[in-house]
Each structure stands twice: as C-alpha cells, then as structure tokens.
Amino acid sequence: MGQKIHPIGFRVGITRDWESRWYAPKSQYRHLLYEDYLIRKAIKERWYGAGISRIEIERAANIVRVIIYAARPGQIIGRGGQGIEEVTRAVHKVLHPNKPDLRIDVEDVRNPDTDAQLVAENIAQQLERRVSHRRAMRQALARAQRANVRGIKIMVAGRLGGAEIARTEWDRVGRVPLQTLRADIDYGFAVAYTIYGTIGVKVWIYKGDIPVTERRILLSTITTPEAAFEPSVRAARPAATERPAGPRRRRGGPRRRGRGGGSGQGRGPSRGRTERQSSAPAESEPPVEE
C-alpha cells in the first residue's frame, strides 16, 4: 500500500481547476488533447530556464489562449515584447493548419520557494551539477520553512551519489495530509540526468486548508460545498424497546460445549457434570413402610 495517488489529479474539480479548459466534439477531442501536449512540450523545452511552473490552455470557438506561469517572466517576454512573438511562432507550428487566433499571457510566480514544480526542478538542476542530494534537500526545506508553508516533503530516487544500487531517500518538515481533500497541496516532479543515470525528484508542499467558500464542488451528487466535507454521521442504533420482540435466537451448536451453545457443558468431567449426570434425572428412593 505504498503507492500514492497524484495529489493534483485527486483534487481536480474539488479544490483544483483543470489546466486545459475547453469543450470539443468526440471526433476532435483526441486531436486537441494531443495539441495541448505539444504546446506545453514546445514551450517547456525552449524556455526551461525561465522557471515555468505550469501552462494553462483555454479554447473558445476559433480562439486559443495560452497562460504561462513562470518565475522569471522576463526571459519569455523579452525586450519590447519580442519574446512573445517568438512564443507565438513556436505555438503556431504545432497548431491545426486552420491557424486559430492565438493569445499568449505570461503570469509571474511571486514565491518560487512555495511552488512544488519549481522546487523539484531546482533540486534536479543541483543534482546534475553534482551537488549532494542531502544538501539540496536541506536547502529546499529551509527555504520553504522561511516562506511559512505548513509542510513540505521531498523524495529522491535513483543511484544517489553514484551508488551501485538505486535507493530512495526522503525528508519532511511539518505535516503533509495527502488524503485530506480540503488541504491545499501542490505537487511537482522533475528528472535529473546524471552520468550514473536518472534521478527522480518529487515534491509535496502543504499550504493550508482551503476555505469552504473557495472550494470548487463540481460533483453532481453534492448540493452544497459544506456537505462535501462534513463527516459522515453513523445511524443510531434502535433502543431496546424498539427492537423486535420474541425469543432470542440460539447461538452455537452441539460442538460448542461450554461456550454458550449446545448442552452448556464443559469440555470434560473435571469442568462440570458428566453427560449421564446432566441428562438423566436423579432417581428418588422409595418411601419406607412402617
């Protein structure tokens, strides 16, 4: 039972929103979904140094809007907005030949130390520069603590330090409630490519509970946001006077002697009366005639 569900996918529609927001006919759905994948891949590979946290895509009619969240947006925008034109050309290469209207928005990530994806990528870059994994983890934990997060967990797996056998190490500060749906947990994953092989880096950051008014309850079976997070109430047992009357059902059987069933005898003569004594009534003596 060591497998963990993806924290973001677990909360999509409840406390997290979708990163691709559009509707499409069934025949075009897979093409548009693959198009979103190519857009994210092209931007992430070209502007990896800008510290891109996530890329959201919205579609409406013949308009495509791409929202890029980056820690260093200046590297994407460029001088005088020239970088936006380069992003537009890169995205147009993977779009449908119809060339829909494209809009590029770049948003700033104000605190990269509390963004799980950026923390994971930072640790991966340090591992590629042969920095000790323990040192990289300790520094990330310290920076997150100074940013006043409620909890952070970091896990690295692979041939750590060039060891012959791969292993997994992790460290945590605070608490990270993975199974609490109202918890605002950010998750990031990155891969470090070293001379010994790849090392996977996973980061969980717990930022606190999301208020009820801000939760997105999209499940059709739930009518109010409060009902989704209220603990289930167990039905009360009926009182003794409300239970059906009648003889109590007999439990046990002939083989459960001395355990509440059968004849109620013990396991042997030493623990109770013998079968002959218990089954046959005692014979009374005849009266003496005078």
* 243: phi then psi, degrees, rounded to nearest 5: -75, 150
> Tokens at residue 238, please?
């009926």
Kindly give the residue spans of alpha helices, DSSP state H, lying in 79-215: 82-92, 116-128, 133-146
Q: Residue 61: what pLDDT?
A: 82
Q: Residue 230: what pLDDT?
A: 47
| Bridge partners of residue 172, in order along the sequence | 153
CA atoms within 13 A on the CB side of 279: 5
Q: Residue 14: what pLDDT?
A: 85
The amino acid at 97:
P
Q: Residue 79: what pLDDT?
A: 85
> Tokens at residue 258, please?
């001395």
Report the alpha-carbon distance of residue 58 to residue 70 in Å, rounded.
18
* Secondary structure of 38-54 in HEC code, one letter for each residue: HHHHHHHHHCHHHCEEE
| DSSP letters for 185-229 | EEEEEEEEEETTEEEEEEEEEEEEEPPGGG-----TT--SHHHHH
CATH of domain 113-212: 3.30.1140.32
Strands 183-194 and 101-108, sheet pairing: unpaired
Residue among 119, 122, 47 at smallest CA distance from 86: 47
> What's 57's DSSP letter?
E
Report the alpha-carbon distance of residue 134 to residue 156 in Å, rounded.
9
Q: Where are the domains of the chain?
A: 7-110, 113-212
pLDDT digits (tens, 9 = 90+) for 66-93: 999 999 999 998 888 888 989 998 998 8
pLDDT < 50: residue spans in the chain: 216, 218-234, 271-279, 290
For the question of whether the overall pTM of this predicted structure is more than 0.85, the answer is no
Q: Give every CB contact of residue 271 below 8 A, 6+ residues apart in sequence.
A: 258, 265
- Domain 7-110 classified CATH 3.40.50.300? no
